[in-house]
Structure 1
């Protein structure tokens, strides 16, 4: 036995035979292989002196004689002549059993891995059955607050969105500034107005784990944009009145509202970011509409949904007086407006809210660096559009904008709104610095605080 195995050809043959059985190179040492082979020969009586002698002379060992020895079979074999005929079919199942026994640990490991993969795939499949709100977007909770703190000093979400009666009835809340940055001097009329309006948010919005908001502007960029379907997918859609002020001669300011039909001054227009007829570009959903008296439509149901919150943005004390007169059906206020507001405003008082002037203050002082007390001749105010973005930054977990921006100043013929043919020239008489606001919005885009759905 040893004489045969010590030959080079014998060793090569043994290695090939073991590799053929195990389907892999031999990993055991030469001495252990010889010891197992010798024991197998003793058990089965296969290795005689004649076989060893013949193997040494030829340098070969019959494969049919060594296979049972290598596998440790306890069944005696027949002679080499009859082995090929009768032992072959019986040997294959035994070989398979032997290989399974040797690889039992690996098979169990593979089976365990397979079961883990099946369980994980089932778990992942079940995890997709979230409510639509959770599944349709990645909600970056806390990201808006973190990035807004980099842009807005002393950023906080502690201030309520809308004014509440208890702050002016039970406790006299002091205000440092007059409208539009505070309520100083307007507390009496505001108290009466808050007694017939509400301040809470709808339950459908309060229970949202992630508030995805779209602030829709009035810019010409929305025309033919086909953004309507996309805008309707957001949880909260905020719209607002126009930011432009028509060119009105100073002599007409006092006449507007006194004799609007007989006055030679320009007629007033109801430019309140219409939805009807523009649904394909601007959508049809409106969760909040920010307005002021001059931008109010006499029939809010025309451009809004039945559950739309109508949020008054007060710029001056006359705005409170107009709202009170409308809701209480008192004598209409006609003076003090740059454009005649509607004398009939068919709105449900339960849907009316009064925006907290705190957000106008933040927009002016923190984003535009405007002084709170300005000379009468140099007054500048934020636009309602920038105010709507500021409101969303204090309320939403995701803020996207659409329809913001103005045409280049050299383009005198380009219209600025998607719904009417007025140009940038109309902004000359306004109290808004649109270029200054554009810088603020670009800064938000650079920080990733907001995302633009159109182009800016």
Structure 2
């Protein structure tokens, strides 16, 4: 019977039988539907084994036997139409599983391609962040050796690294090299007290810094932009972290200068609000590591251990002969010097002499003459000096293989209410009494940034 139904003869016979039942000719599509109905009838057991047997023997099917089956199939087809909508959702999972099984390889390939695209997009985003946002952590194995020296030579005339960072006793005791300038650009006239001071201090760098193949340095300023910057962890990753005392001079009337030196506790003059760039309490923004701290007597904290590490080098930046005298009196426990300061320096300075260094005035000269074009000899009333911030950058350019800065810059001159330090509320108005031209220094720093000589970690 199956051979008959699947052959041409069987198809013609089935067409005749359907025409007799339906009283109309049967189209090819209808014939195809009948074949599908026939299969369904067989699957559902509606055709008996006897009918199938006779079909195989005779090659024909009796209309009386086939008619009930066909009528049953027509009725089932008509009645099942109303259930298509309800049975459709049940069939969808089966069809989906069947499609997945057939296209498993293609689906896995598409999924793998999608995962690769996702990974690549994330990788590109990470690279974008590293390139265009700070902090950028340089690979220590790819140190740009010689790059700072090459670019610094474009900005600083007669650039050299032959000069020592700190003053040494042998240069004054044995050689007695005469200096061309007085402080802060030389030691002319201060050799005697300097000899006594150098006899109890040191000049060498720690071994941990000397053996570095690449010196990655961060010069940390005192600017307001460090507040809430969360730069602490980044700053701590550098090999050398240089900090310095602030550059601002509080508004103190001239009549108060001598009073603050002679009788600071009974003076009616306003107290100074200056502090030496504190670290304690601001570690999240400014870090906790300090390799060198540049200071002068007015910016010194009475307990250097409060804001520094045990191995921090305390580098004196001498601006005037009284600075040498103050340091000698403190370290030798002599009678304290009170006169000659615009702000009373600490009378007790609990520092280890082995950690004290005296900065070579050569770097102050380079900062003033080469970067700011200031004359070495100025009238007393018009004296301008570089800030310790710019001096710290100059020092790093003669010492480091990579120089990054953070916390530099001042607010716009029209913004009188914006604070200038991250740790106190004084404004740009306090700079009026200082001997620094901050706008001139801003131009010099921007020039370094344009040359790629330094890199800024905070907005300048």
Q: TM-score with structure 1 length normalisation?
A: 0.71
The size of the alignment, in residue pairs, is 455
Write the deviation string for residues 27-72 of structure 1: whole angstroms up to 9, x where unpaired.
Answer: 9999999999999999999999999999999999999999999999
**Kept in 2: contact 1:162–1:354 (CA 8 A):** yes
**Kept in 1: contact 2:387–2:436 (CA 8 A):** yes
Distance 1:334 1:245 in 2: 18
In structure 2, do the counterparts of structure 1 residues 250 and 6 end up closer, same or farther at CA, with 3 Å as the change threshold? same
**Secondary structure class of the residue paired with 1:396:** coil
Write the deviation string for residues 323-362 of structure 1: whole angstroms up to 9, x where unpaired.
Answer: 0000000000000000000000000000000000000000
**Secondary structure class of the residue paired with 1:239:** strand
Aligned position for 1:271:
275
Does 2:152 match 1:148?
Answer: yes
Please, which runs of 5 or more residues in structure 2 have no aligned partner?
Answer: 127-131
Q: Which one is further off, 275-284 or 113-122?
A: 113-122
In structure 2, do the counterparts of structure 1 residues 87 and 357 end up closer, same or farther at CA, with 3 Å as the change threshold? closer
In structure 2, do the counterparts of structure 1 residues 339 and 88 end up closer, same or farther at CA, with 3 Å as the change threshold? closer
Distance 1:119 1:18 in 2: 63
After TM superposition, give the deviation of residue 262 of structure 1 in Å: 1.0
Distance 2:170 2:26 in 1: 88
Distance 1:455 1:65 in 2: 95
Distance 2:52 2:145 in 1: 81
Please, which runs of 5 or more residues in structure 1 have no aligned partner?
Answer: none
Write the deviation string for residues 261-289 of structure 1: whole angstroms up to 9, x where unpaired.
Answer: 11111113351000000000000000000
Q: Which one is further off, 66-75 or 367-376?
A: 66-75
Aligned position for 1:406:
410
**Kept in 1: contact 2:185–2:362 (CA 8 A):** yes
**Secondary structure class of the residue paired with 2:344:** coil
In structure 2, do the counterparts of structure 1 residues 44 and 193 end up closer, same or farther at CA, with 3 Å as the change threshold? farther
**Kept in 2: contact 1:413–1:423 (CA 8 A):** yes
The aligned runs of 1:251-266 (5 Å cut-off) are 251-266=255-270
After TM superposition, give the deviation of residue 364 of structure 1 in Å: 0.1
**Kept in 2: contact 1:334–1:340 (CA 8 A):** yes
Distance 1:323 1:355 in 2: 13
Write the deviation string for residues 82-127 of structure 1: whole angstroms up to 9, x where unpaired.
Answer: 999999999999999999999999999999999999999999999x
Write the deviation string for residues 159-214 of structure 1: whole angstroms up to 9, x where unpaired.
Answer: 00000000011111110000000000000000000000000000000000000000
After TM superposition, give the deviation of residue 20 of structure 1 in Å: 57
In structure 2, do the counterparts of structure 1 residues 142 and 8 end up closer, same or farther at CA, with 3 Å as the change threshold? farther
After TM superposition, give the deviation of residue 256 of structure 1 in Å: 1.2
After TM superposition, give the deviation of residue 401 of structure 1 in Å: 0.1
In structure 2, do the counterparts of structure 1 residues 414 and 118 end up closer, same or farther at CA, with 3 Å as the change threshold? closer
Write the deviation string for residues 362-417 of structure 1: whole angstroms up to 9, x where unpaired.
Answer: 00000000000000000000000000000000000000000000000110100000
Q: TM-score with structure 2 length normalisation?
A: 0.71
**Kept in 2: contact 1:294–1:340 (CA 8 A):** yes
Distance 1:157 1:25 in 2: 108
After TM superposition, give the deviation of residue 18 of structure 1 in Å: 56
Distance 1:211 1:24 in 2: 100
Distance 1:24 1:351 in 2: 115
Distance 1:16 1:235 in 2: 98
Q: Which one is further off, 92-101 or 411-420?
A: 92-101
**Kept in 1: contact 2:2–2:56 (CA 8 A):** no
**Kept in 1: contact 2:243–2:277 (CA 8 A):** yes
Question: Following TM superposition, where does structure 1 have runs of at least 4 consecutive aligned residues deviating by more than 3 angstroms?
Answer: 1-126, 128-137
**Secondary structure class of the residue paired with 1:135:** coil
**Kept in 1: contact 2:47–2:69 (CA 8 A):** no
In structure 2, do the counterparts of structure 1 residues 28 and 91 end up closer, same or farther at CA, with 3 Å as the change threshold? farther
In structure 2, do the counterparts of structure 1 residues 439 and 117 end up closer, same or farther at CA, with 3 Å as the change threshold? closer
Whose Rg is larger?
2
Q: Which one is further off, 40-49 or 238-247?
A: 40-49
Distance 2:13 2:224 in 1: 86
After TM superposition, give the deviation of residue 453 of structure 1 in Å: 0.1
Aligned position for 2:74:
74
After TM superposition, give the deviation of residue 136 of structure 1 in Å: 3.9
After TM superposition, give the deviation of residue 81 of structure 1 in Å: 57
Q: Which one is further off, 1-10 or 72-81?
A: 72-81
In structure 2, do the counterparts of structure 1 residues 309 and 24 end up closer, same or farther at CA, with 3 Å as the change threshold? farther
Does 2:48 match 1:48?
Answer: yes
Q: Which one is further off, 204-213 or 7-16?
A: 7-16
**Kept in 2: contact 1:400–1:453 (CA 8 A):** yes
